Amino acid sequence: MSSVALVGNPNVGKTTLFNALTGMMQHTGNYPGVTVEWKSGQWKSADLPDGAMELVDLPGTYSLAAQSPDEAVVAATLLGEIPGLPRPDAVIAVIDASNPERNLYLLSQLIEVGIPVVVALNMVDAAAAKGLKVDAVRLSKNLGIPVCVIRANRREGLKGLSEAVGARLRDTQGASFTPLCKDPRVASSPDIIRERYSWARRMLVDCLERPETPLQTFSDRIDRLVTHKFWGLLIFFGMMALVFQSIFSWARPVMDWLDLGVRGAGDLLLAGMPQGTLRSLLQDGVIAGAGAVLIFLPQIAALFFFISLLEDCGYMARTAFLMDKLFSRLGLSGRSFIPMLSSFACAVPGIMSTRSIDNARERLVTMLVAPLMTCSARLPVFTVMIAAFVPSTRVFGIFNMQGVALLGMYLLGAATAIPVALVLRKTLMKNVSPMFLIELPAYKWPDTRTVLQRVYLQCRAFVVRAGSVIMLVSVLVWALSYFPRASAPVDASTQLSQSALGRMGKTLEPAFKPLGWDYRITMAALASFPAREVVVATLGTIFNLSKDQTDDVGLRQNLKDAVWPDGRPLFNLAVALSLMVFFALCAQCASTLVVIAKESGSWKWAAFAFCYMTTLAYLGAWGTYSLVFRLMSAGA
Amino acid sequence: MGWQEITALVLVALAAWALVRKMRGKFKGEGDCEGCAPPKKKK
């Protein structure tokens, strides 16, 4: 099957076009670094040779002379150097109509490569808002290659594009362009750069209408406020407070229904089954474990709904710009902030997006601090503790204390990342003065399909995790907590303390007692190494097994009822905060450590990340517990 | 040993085997969250 590659500058709509042509659901974003490796899918159309082609989506680049690892993928693909990926038979050059001159610079290099090129002129509405109009017919005549006007987000102009690509593959006559460089990957000399821009201007001379003076767009007017050094930050923190408030209060009723549903399904499953080992496995391992995690689905959906909304309307790119101002004072750059921003969803794509950073040391520092950002896996841990132990009182009359606590936990990771990055920068990246340039996309009304698609993908991934790794760990934790059985009948708490898990936990308990944890919390936390949200399941299983009553009262109530051997309540605000701080800073995520090892090229850095984050988590949890416990004792 | 014990032990053994496979996959870089998976061809 023939293949066609999508190439263009960052943020011109390549992945949106890829999704529109293949029907796939790759993550799109309006800031650089969202696509950092090639992805392929099948593009079916009657206009194409054999009715279908393999479509390859490539990272955005300004030039084929690569500066960063993601840009290098583009040149390597076009030259057929990627193992398992044949050299494309054609290239679709996606061009942003609102910035045609700079986009044509890359086009000049693409034509030189010698692969048939078709231009897809995208973002014509953004160009019109700036008062720019590109005459596609005349541009096509000047370039000698087909130019199709498309609106990838609205799936308009796709038929014309498939016809043009099909025709281009049948007609082997290419554009006449004398190569300026023998190897497109070699950084061009200033003369060649000037020649390329001069060529771009010649191509556009009679087909680009632009106003005498640049128009003041709607986006420019909003940006004066949103990117302001004081008001911008105030708006950012205000917006975040509202988001976390909403996540906590809006998702609550749906979570309660889901909780009832999970318990109802459990009752149905266990109806008629006599007391025994299998019943305990299903009740304490599967339902109290994996089921306890599943009820957080509405919060995950709410979190990604807001993230996608802010991302798709163009606000997220502004936060990188805002943070650059703040970070530059600390010697860091907004370039590092973009992977950190992605890490709020999941650290794995965040660390992968560091490929857009050209400086190797800056890239390493960014991938080492990115896991400190509060990923969605921490949300269930925070929520269960906040809902059970943080009072639901009003703050400043409008905010709920629980929402404020959630925001505080989210900010803790970001606040910790700053000093950590500073220390790493002083030791690892001496003499590097990072510079950051970002193109701010025009504000737009969020696309419903894009937002819902992201929410759906994240919810699906969450359910898959709950049904796979989380449930598997819960079952094993149940087995370790259930066996060996005591020879004589004993109460549930004694049985648990004599089990394999109980004995291991008792050995480790002294090391974690300064954090306010007993052996049950210790084992629940340690068993969550595969993924952070596993701790909710392991807490569910362990605390369900440690009570004598067989009725299912839910994880929150089980935690409230748990006691030390002397009868004191095990959980209080100090213990809950200590556990939350530990999970805000720890490295309990196998996937993250693997991706650090892969991206840095050494397991040494993954081990370093694990050690420094675990140390920080332990010290942070210990400090929090000691402080809050003293405050509580003083207040009592 | 009753049927409940035998079934439970078989399920635990299967879960342990599946978890080992899952973790081996994770260490090969196969994630199960959005954006974690390595490039794949979808036909």
Contact state of B43 with A42 under an 8 Å Cβ cutoff: yes
Determine the residue of chain A that is closest to B25 in CA distance: A591
Confidence tier at A190 by pLDDT (50, 70, 90): confident
d(CA A433, CA A240): 30
Contact state of B31 with A465 under an 8 Å Cβ cutoff: no
- Which residues in chain B have their CB less than 8 angstroms from residue A26's CB? none
For residue A317, pLDDT over 80 is answered with yes
A342-387 tens-digit pLDDT: 888 888 888 988 887 877 888 888 899 999 999 989 999 999 999 9
A15 touches B: beta carbon within 8 Å: no
Q: What is the pLDDT of residue B39?
A: 44
The H-or-E segment that residue A90 falls in is strand A90-96
d(CA B30, CA B43): 19
Q: What is the pLDDT of residue A145?
A: 92
Average pLDDT, chain B: 76
d(CA B24, CA B22): 5
A157-174 tens-digit pLDDT: 999 999 999 998 887 655
In this prediction, residues A129-138 reach a mean pLDDT of: 92
Q: What is the pLDDT of residue A185?
A: 63
- Which residues in chain B have their CB less than 8 angstroms from residue A342's CB? 35
In this prediction, residues A510-538 reach a mean pLDDT of: 94
Give per-residue burial for A106-115: e unless 16+ CB within 10 Å, then b.
Answer: bbbbbbbbeb
Choose the closest CB to A461 out of B11, B18, B32. B32
Picking from A634, A584, A292, the residue whose alpha carbon sits closest to that of residue A417 is A584
A83-114 tens-digit pLDDT: 888 899 999 999 999 989 999 999 999 998 88
Q: What is the pLDDT of residue B41?
A: 43
The three-class DSSP label of residue A452 is helix
In this prediction, residues A404-416 reach a mean pLDDT of: 91
- Which residues in chain B have their CB less than 8 angstroms from residue A591's CB? 26, 31, 33, 36
- Which residues in chain B have their CB less than 8 angstroms from residue A41's CB? 41-42
Average pLDDT, chain A: 88
Choose the closest CB to B36 out of A280, A471, A591. A591
Contact state of A278 with B36 under an 8 Å Cβ cutoff: no
Residues 6+ apart with CB under 8 A from A330: A418, A421, A422
- Tokens 């990188």 identify what position? A320
Q: Give A150 or A186, the one with higher predicted confidence.
A: A150
A27 touches B: beta carbon within 8 Å: yes
B2 touches A: beta carbon within 8 Å: yes
d(CA A595, CA A348): 6
Structural Rg of chain B based on CA atoms: 16
Contact state of A277 with B26 under an 8 Å Cβ cutoff: no
Contact state of B32 with A464 under an 8 Å Cβ cutoff: yes
For residue A175, pLDDT over 70 is answered with no
Q: Which stretches of A187-230 are DSSP H helices?
A: 190-204, 218-226
Choose the closest CB to A27 out of B16, B19, B34. B34
Determine the residue of chain A that is closest to B35 in CA distance: A349
A478-519 tens-digit pLDDT: 999 999 998 888 999 999 999 999 999 999 999 999 999 999
Q: Give A215 or A121, the one with higher predicted confidence.
A: A121
Contact state of A595 with B29 under an 8 Å Cβ cutoff: yes
d(CA A96, CA A33): 17
CB A386 within 8 A of CB A402: yes
Contact state of B36 with A348 under an 8 Å Cβ cutoff: yes
Percentage of chain A surpassing pLDDT 70? Answer: 93
A37 touches B: beta carbon within 8 Å: yes
Confidence tier at A129 by pLDDT (50, 70, 90): confident
Instruction: Please tell me the pTM assigned to this model.
Output: 0.83
Question: Six-digit token pair at A71?
Answer: 């840009």
A311 touches B: beta carbon within 8 Å: no
Confidence tier at A187 by pLDDT (50, 70, 90): low
d(CA A117, CA A114): 9
Picking from A90, A87, A89, A91, the residue whose alpha carbon sits closest to that of residue A79 is A87
For residue B10, pLDDT over 90 is answered with yes
- Which residues in chain A have their CB less than 8 angstroms from residue B4's CB? 274, 276-279
